[in-house]
Amino acid sequence: MRTLWILIFAVFIGAITTMFLSDDESSVSMTSTPSTPTTAALPAEAVSDVSPGTPDGDTATNDPVESLVEDLMDSATMVESTSQPTATPAAGDSDEQSSQDTGETLTLGMDRVIASATIVEGDIRRVTPDELKVDGEFTLQGEGTKENPYRPSWEYLYSAGDTYAPRLGQNEIPQRIALLDGAWVDISGYTVFPLVSGKTTELLIMLNQWDGCCIGVPPTPFDAIEVGLNEAVMRGPKHAISFGSITGRLKVDPYLIEDWLVGLYLLEEGTLQPGL
């Protein structure tokens, strides 16, 4: 009897051992065998990404890290291409754009006080150290000093009559005229002397020819200057017409008789350089 039970126990033990061994093998096979991915549950885009190959023979990837790196590289390339310096014009190109001055408007002459007149601001710009652009119409050369006097044209001086006519109630002196007040000027023109003496320190310098009596065109207050010379000069023959250049300090000083303008310009400390 004991022998039978020993045989039954041995068979039972063997069966149990066999069962455990088979379970271990199945569990090992399950853990060691990788699962095969299927494409059934993946979207069409993912299937194309994990395809074994591309027409170029390269393996496609859907790695998010690599995709991010590629995007960053593309962005860096775009930034580098857009940050390239653009060509700038040569320094000399700006000098050829315009010959006109673009500086600030000057206030020369606005501080002057002229009797019976109001100074009207204009557009005075310095083109060079020796030249002013005046109201877009005139060019005034010089600096207004004794060494480098202003050199206004007669048209420049005559333009005061555009706004200054006291008889008509117009009492405005342009800034371009006011800036000459107190400045040194040099101007050339026809001269006429008083007829009462051989030598004189007074004369008129004018735009037009006039002998003081009968020949030529009598001057107006805008195209003639009363001159006081530093040294007396001998006047020419009676009714003679002469020409010269005078340098001196100019005064804008209206001389009125019952609102009639008789004279406008005075020149003091004058020096005459005879011409004809």
CATH number at residue 139: 2.40.50
Note whether residue 50 is domain-resident. Answer: no
What the block records as the tokens of 158 is 């005559």
- Per the structure, the complete domain to which residue 197 belongs is given by 118-274
pLDDT of residue 124: 97
pLDDT of residue 134: 97
Note whether residue 221 is domain-resident. Answer: yes
Q: What is the pTM of this model?
A: 0.63
Which tens digit of pLDDT belongs to each residue from 99-142? Answer: 444 568 999 999 999 999 999 999 999 999 999 999 999 999 99
Task: Of 157, 25, 236, give the one whose Cα is nearest residue 17.
Answer: 25
Does 145 score more than 90 pLDDT? Answer: yes
Note whether residue 160 is domain-resident. Answer: yes
pLDDT of residue 23: 52
The distance between the two most distant Cα atoms of the chain, rounded to a whole number of Å, is 184
Domain tally, the chain? 1
Note whether residue 69 is domain-resident. Answer: no
Q: CB count, 10 Å around CB of 84?
A: 6
| 8 A C-beta contact, residue 212 and residue 239 | yes
Note whether residue 208 is domain-resident. Answer: yes
For 173, how many CA atoms within 13 A lie in the half-sphere containing its CB? 25
Which tens digit of pLDDT belongs to each residue from 159-204? Answer: 999 999 999 999 999 999 999 999 999 999 999 987 766 788 999 9
Note whether residue 38 is domain-resident. Answer: no
Question: What does the radius of gyration of the chain's CA atoms come to, in whole angstroms?
Answer: 53
Q: How confident is the model at residue 257 (pLDDT cuts 50, 70, 90)?
A: very high
Note whether residue 264 is domain-resident. Answer: yes
